[in-house]
């Protein structure tokens, strides 16, 4: 069976989102930006991580095409790169409520 080029694009996009969501800090960043754009220092303070960690995670999310940096004077703030992402995250939050809560404990699935 041959996969059509459009399907590869969809697979790649979902893989990038999955990679982003596989890290709790990146997930928390996306959930925070779903609420409102923010400066990295404010995100770092709100999430309790260092600014270096925040910088690295935002670079990853930028590379995945999920967030974008908006320069404002000498500072840069971040927002979700696509308006469809916030409702998609909302839908994913609804979905995970139906997953067995003890199945995956952060050290791999036990299902």
Instruction: Write out pLDDT tens, residues 41-77.
Output: 999 999 999 999 999 999 999 999 999 999 999 999 9
Query: Residue 51: inside a domain, yes or no?
Result: yes
Angle between helices 51-63 and 24-35 (to 10 degrees): 80
For 19-39, what is the mean pLDDT? Answer: 96
Q: Which domain holds residue 58?
A: 10-96
For 20-48, what is the mean pLDDT? Answer: 96
Pairing of strands 75-80, 67-72: antiparallel
- pLDDT surpassing 80 at residue 105: no
The share of the chain scoring above pLDDT 90, in percent, equals 65
CATH code, domain with 45: 1.10.10.10
Q: How many domains does the chain have?
A: 1
Query: Residue 30: inside a domain, yes or no?
Result: yes
Query: Residue 76: which of 49, 97, 92, 55 has the closest Cα?
Result: 55
Q: Which long-range contacts (CB under 8 A, 24 or more apart) does 86-89 make?
A: 86/34, 89/30, 89/31, 89/34
Record the tokens describing residue 70, joined without a space: 């908006």
- pLDDT surpassing 60 at residue 23: yes
Q: How confident is the model at residue 34 (pLDDT cuts 50, 70, 90)?
A: very high
């Amino acid at each position: 069976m041959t996969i059509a080029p459009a399907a590869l694009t969809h697979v790649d996009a979902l893989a990038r989102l999955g990679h982003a969501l596989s890290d709790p800090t990146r997930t928390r960043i996306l959930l925070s930006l779903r609420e409102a754009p923010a400066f990295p220092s404010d995100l770092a303070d709100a999430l309790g991580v260092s600014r270096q960690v925040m910088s690295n995670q935002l670079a990853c999310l930028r590379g995945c095409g999920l967030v974008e940096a908006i320069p404002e004077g000498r500072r840069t703030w971040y927002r979700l790169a696509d308006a469809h992402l916030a409702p998609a995250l909302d839908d994913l939050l609804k979905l995970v409520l139906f997953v067995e809560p003890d199945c995956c404990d952060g050290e791999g699935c036990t299902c």
